[in-house]
Structure 1
């Protein structure tokens, strides 16, 4: 009796899968991808993240035999579009997203309709940013200590822009301000490109961001005052780090790719393998040098484990900075 029930149960499940999809699940995974894939980039076009994701999409698409179409959907510090994808996209592998570290922080800062640990299928860890603090070349701030000195004289009046509330460029400056015992005026923007134009136009006096500012620094329109890595960069070796100046902040904000929860492991593996080969391509290595970023490869399982650890660690930071949701 029990054996007959179990057999009927599994036959019913198999029939339901076949009826819903027109083919067995294993066949779908075997044939994946049968159409173009959409890669959501939750930041505007033109920034460092967009530049990186577009090249990876091109290279991985060649591996998969289908184009990967980049869809820029900025908002909420890079969390709006991934959160929407988690709630609405099918878990079939045809819609995936860049997964920035702000996804692990926003859930601590406000109520969200998604959980960064349970509502996503982690595919691959890719890279991390080189963050820097820049001003216009005609700025009166010749060094980062000049900027902090001005903030001490006028608490809350000295401003800086970032790519949005809860992003790494924002939180690392909040942590630095706390360590330096100054009050800064934070001005959030939708993304990297908007922020660059605001600084160049004189709408903010400084910016904290990833290396979207590189061409402006090299071209002489901006001055790089500080970077936030463990050591000075190869590209701008004359620029000190926040750590060596005594501000106690180090950040690279790793990121990767994820899809909706419940993806077929075989589809996740196909996507992982294609993007891993894209990361190993010489064109990708060349772009990493241009962006002054290091590869940060993690398997899907390792990326998910890192996310769990970072989520717990950042909760303590956000609470300490007084930014936690009430």
Structure 2
């Protein structure tokens, strides 16, 4: 017992004698020495959760340590985003950063600044958003949908997953570009919004691919998707941009850590998630949930976040989102 205590004391004294950079270097060289916690700000089983778990499984193999996914949900993903920003920057707490942090931080829903409160590891994949209507709807094409909206301002209703979210803002941006006015109907989430349309209570659905199985079964008709390119599973459906509306919404998922992460640890995490995004396992999950792969390495991902933040500043004022949030 005494010998053990002596060794512990000598080890502590030796560590104390090392300069701080040397301590950090030693810590980074041995990282990771224990399991890593991954904060997912969305419910278990959802598309974002599925993609993050697939990435973590591959990255854990690369790193040689388990990565435990912890779902911290609520406030449109901002509860998990705040937990991540507030964690110790030691590499043992990482997580998904929704790109909506650039909007909600400016709207007061996130007490963190995405330009300075995170270390960015990788951008991974986006989502496939679209506008869908019931199969018995009179609107066979987006052109017919827009024509009716122009002739009847504010009469067409659409369901979305919450004020200020990607589906609401994307649809309002489209309406602005198209020169029309819709009547938006917020729901507590995409699942409820989908039921509102399937039940005939709302004219159209603006959502990520919750509509996909219902389009395939013939219950819904997909008028347009919102990505840079057509989604492979629905290759006959045009994008908004193809139809003449310069609107692209793909809400990329990203992976980050609290600000102040040791660069050497960040490099290890970046390499692990680079390999994870490129893996067949992740690509299979991404294809199944219609998630386009949009990889960016950490530094480029950080630049992208700054660019989106600036765009959101303009969009918030243009769409009067602050007034809508009151």
Q: CA deviation at 1:86?
A: 1.1
Q: CA deviation at 1:119?
A: 0.7
Structure 2 runs not aligned, ≥5 long: 1-12
Secondary structure of 1:79 counterpart: helix
Q: Residue 114 of structure 2 corresponds to which residue in structure 1?
A: 116
Q: Residue 77 of structure 1 corresponds to which residue in structure 2?
A: 76
Q: Residue 208 of structure 2 corresponds to which residue in structure 1?
A: 210
Q: CA deviation at 1:120?
A: 0.7
Tell me, yes or no, if the aligned pair for 1:226 and 1:240 is still in contact at 8 Å: yes
Tell me, yes or no, if the aligned pair for 1:122 and 1:303 is still in contact at 8 Å: yes
Structure 1 runs not aligned, ≥5 long: 1-11
Cα distance in 2 for residues equivalent to 1:18 and 1:200: 64
Cα distance in 1 for residues equivalent to 2:43 and 2:134: 22
Q: Residue 5 of structure 2 corresponds to which residue in structure 1?
A: none
1:114-160 CA-to-partner distances (Å, cap 9, x unmatched) read: 11110111111112222211233344433334433454455444332
Equivalent in 311, 314, 323 of residue 313 of structure 1: 311
- Alignment partner of 1:55 is 2:47: no
Seen in structure 2, the aligned counterparts of structure 1 residues 221 and 45 have a Cα distance that, compared at 3 Å, is farther
Seen in structure 2, the aligned counterparts of structure 1 residues 24 and 203 have a Cα distance that, compared at 3 Å, is farther
- Alignment partner of 1:259 is 2:260: no
Tell me, yes or no, if the aligned pair for 2:78 and 2:109 is still in contact at 8 Å: no
Q: Residue 171 of structure 1 corresponds to which residue in structure 2?
A: 169
Cα distance in 2 for residues equivalent to 1:260 and 1:271: 13
Seen in structure 2, the aligned counterparts of structure 1 residues 188 and 260 have a Cα distance that, compared at 3 Å, is farther
Q: CA deviation at 1:91?
A: 1.4
Equivalence map 1:1-12=2 (5 Å): none
Size of the aligned set, in residue pairs, is: 310
Tell me, yes or no, if the aligned pair for 1:40 and 1:95 is still in contact at 8 Å: yes
Superposition TM-score, scaled by structure 1 size = 0.83
Superposition TM-score, scaled by structure 2 size = 0.83
Cα distance in 1 for residues equivalent to 2:72 and 2:202: 24
Equivalence map 1:1-326=2 (5 Å): 15=16, 24-87=23-86, 89-110=87-108, 112-152=110-150, 155-202=153-200, 204-324=202-322
